[in-house]
Amino acid sequence: MKNIINQYSSIEQMTNQYLNRTKTQKNAGSEVSFEDVLRQKQKPLKFSKHATQRLSQRNINLSDEQNVRLTNGVTEAEKKGVNESLVLVDNLAFIVNVPNKTVVTAMDQEETNANVFTNIDGAVIM
């Protein structure tokens, strides 16, 4: 403690030196935003083998914007405690296992007109 007292004339000098050094060390060489860190920590949305087959068979191609909306819909369902969700994005319908963040199946508007959705406990319209 004597060394610290002899080196600084005030507590502010000591505080500024240690706080500035800590900030500099933490940020040195890293330009990572909060959003980037959050995305890295979140489990990515994945598609089951069945869902991938359905996308291919039904000629469904998700745009980047639709994929983002689908992911956001799953996040909203998760916030509400939904386990199995129907997520509607434009004219596409997805059944998603929310805890696993896995798309179970996908269909377009033609298939959704004739179907009844069962075993879901929530729906999100994006």
For residue 26, the enclosing domain spans 2-31
- What does the alpha-carbon distance between residue 75 and residue 115 come to, in Å, rounded to a whole number? 25
pLDDT confidence of residue 24:
45
Domains of the chain: total: 2
pLDDT digits over 10-55, tens only? 666 666 666 665 444 455 555 777 766 666 566 789 999 999 999 9
Cα–Cα distance list, 101 to 47, 59, 71, 104, 110 (Å) = 9, 22, 9, 9, 25
The CA R_g of the chain, rounded to the nearest whole Å, is 25
Region of 93 please: left (phi>0), alpha (psi -120 to 50) or beta.
beta
- Torsion angles phi and psi, residue 8, rounded to 5: -125, 140
Is there a domain that residue 36 lies in?
no
Total-model pTM: 0.66
pLDDT confidence of residue 41:
64
- What does the alpha-carbon distance between residue 31 and residue 8 come to, in Å, rounded to a whole number? 32
Judge whether residue 118 has pLDDT over 90.
no
Looking at residue 63, which CATH number applies to its domain? 3.30.2310
